[in-house]
Structure 1
Amino acid sequence: MISQSNNPPLLLRTRGMAAEVAARLRVMIDEGEMPPGARIDEKEMCMAFDVSKTPLREALKVLVSEGRVTHRQYIGYRVAAIDLGDLASTFEMLHGLEAMAGELLQQRVSVTQVAAIGAKHRRMVECHNSGKRLEYFQLNQQVHQMIVDAAGNPVLSNIYATLMSKVHRARGAANTDILRWSESMDEHDAILAALEDPAHTDLPRILREHSENTASEVLAVLNRARASAPAARDEGVKPEVSREPEEVVGFSQD
């Protein structure tokens, strides 16, 4: 009988490395460093993370179960496509939730909550001014959730968080090319000003318009990327046309 004491430590180390690799890949995918349809080169990933194929493949299995990665025989692992039709529908829901939060905030937001949102907003401004796009994007997400949470409706907060998690990767993919960064920052200034106004009368409109503008830009960027995907040629990880001529890996309109 094989001793149980010799195997668990090795297994735990492998699982620990797999979890760490999965976490790092998850961030790379969600923040747009690895775009939709990108081929995941196992050899390059093993070298980059200094791990063997075992923990890498365990990590990739986790990401496949999460829908962030796909695997096909003879093709290998790729970053999962973004369904543009589903994305547009999700954004439509978010517009309404943002406006609803604005209406509730008119009666419920406290001075303390406004101060906390304002402090996070100022950190976001600092990242914008210093060109730290990734940090700005992360703070942006946090500010939006704080605003919705301040509406004091847990059901609204949970639905919003769930839908935002669905568009997070799309926003990250578009974030690398987004053209309206300064415009978005101006809109956030307007949101904070409306929050700091005791009447809060403009909040529903401003929040909804900001959500609509963000959706419009993200969808435009991803549609441009989808249109150019067949011609894209990068070194290493890149979006490619699959073996089926009619299917472009990376984006879907279904």
Structure 2
Amino acid sequence: MNQTTRSPLLLRTRGMAAEIAARLRVMIDEGELPPGARIDEKELSAAFDVSKTPLREALKVLTSEGRVTHRQYIGYRVAEIDLDDLVATFEMLHGLETMAGELLQQRVTNSQVSAIAAKHRRMVECHEAGKRVEYFRLNQQIHQMIVDAAANPVLAAIYSTLMSKVHRARGAANADTLRWAESASEHEAILAALEDAERRDLPRILREHSENTAREVLAVLMRARGDAPAGDLARKEVSI
């Protein structure tokens, strides 16, 4: 069989692998496959209706991205999250949220506030309907819209990069029902501060929301790991 004959099959396999990788990436990033979870190849092959060949190609891609780990004779698992790196990233985000809030006091336009309010209403509808994944996606979009409205492209780019680093951790912690309700309430306060003409409280409210989110994300991840004494958790909470 010559190379020309092999190429179509190879391309089809690679195309399937890319699609599977994209679907698994979402499942991992949004918490459906939590950190440390074993990846059952047989189960996923059946769920995606594919053979193990494109599935394993997809898993290799996710391994190279750091989302998945592989050990011989053990198989694939969703990669654990580096908590020290997560704490450091959240610390940066707290500062960026505060800075954005300060810039927004003078720069945000009425049309931008209206667009954020419209997105917020859609998010509230998802919360009331129990659509957790859709709520989480809208939540992320709203945060980026708020920072973008500060009209500082460097700030917006750095914020987007750091948020992508904590996205998987936020998704893993997204199943906590109590925090979900608290987060929705905090977003109401953010919107109210945005709609206020002076926006005096906006920097503080944005920072507090960021800190509360970080605290809960870390608490959920450490409880899931079950390897952190309460004292260590408390120290991490103080640090953020």
Whether these two folds match at TM > 0.5 is yes
Contact 1:178 1:218 in 2 (8 A): no
The 2-side partners of 1:179 and 1:62 are apart by 35
Which residue does 1:28 correspond to in 2?
27
Partner of 2:150: 151
1:210 aligns with 2:194: no
- 2-side partners of 1:82 and 1:139: how far apart? 23
Q: Deviations over 1:59-100 (max 9, x none)?
A: 011101111001111221110011111111111111000000
Aligned equivalent of 1:135: 134
Letter of the 1:60 partner, please give it: L
Give the TM-score of the pair, scaled to structure 1. 0.87
The superposition leaves residues 216-251 of structure 1 with CA deviations (integer Å, 9 ceiling, x where unpaired) of: 11111111111179xxxxxxxxxxxxxxxxxxxxxx
User: Match for residue 234 of structure 1?
Assistant: none
Amino acid at match of 1:2: N
Q: C-alpha separation between the residues in 2 aligned to 1:183 and 1:37?
A: 27
Residues 154-192 of structure 1 deviation map (CA, whole Å, 9 limit, x = unaligned): 111111111111111111111113422221111101111
Secondary structure (helix, strand or coil) at the match of 1:179 reads helix
Q: TM-score, with normalisation over the residues of structure 2?
A: 0.92
The residue that corresponds to 2:192 in the other structure is: 193
2:235 equivalent in structure 1: none
Output the CA distance in 1 between the equivalents of 2:212 and 2:183: 8
- Which runs of 5 or more structure 1 residues have no equivalent in the other structure? 230-254
Higher helix share: 2
Partner of 2:45: 46
- Judge conservation of contact 1:124–1:140 (CA < 8 Å) in 2: yes
Q: Contact conserved, 1:90 with 1:167, CA < 8 A, in 2?
A: yes
Three-state SS of the structure 1 residue aligned to 2:173 is helix
Q: Which amino acid aligns with 1:137?
A: F
CA RMSD of aligned residues (A): 1.4
Where do 4+ consecutive residues of structure 1 move more than 6 Å? none
**CA–CA separation in structure 1 for the residues paired with 2:131 and 2:2:** 53
Aligned sequence identity (%): 80
Post-superposition CA distance 1:133-161 (Å, at most 9, x none): 11111100000000001111111111111
Q: Distance in 1 between matches of 2:3 and 2:60?
A: 29
**3-state DSSP of counterpart to 2:200:** coil
Query: What's the secondary structure of 1:185's corresponding residue?
Result: helix
Instruction: Tell me, yes or no, if the aligned pair for 1:178 and 1:217 is still in contact at 8 Å.
Output: no
For 1:68, give the aligned amino acid.
Answer: R
Determine the C-alpha separation between the residues in 1 that align with 2:100 and 2:45. Answer: 45
Larger RCO: 1 or 2 (CA < 8 Å, sep 6+):
1
The residue matched to 2:70 in structure 1 has which SS?
strand
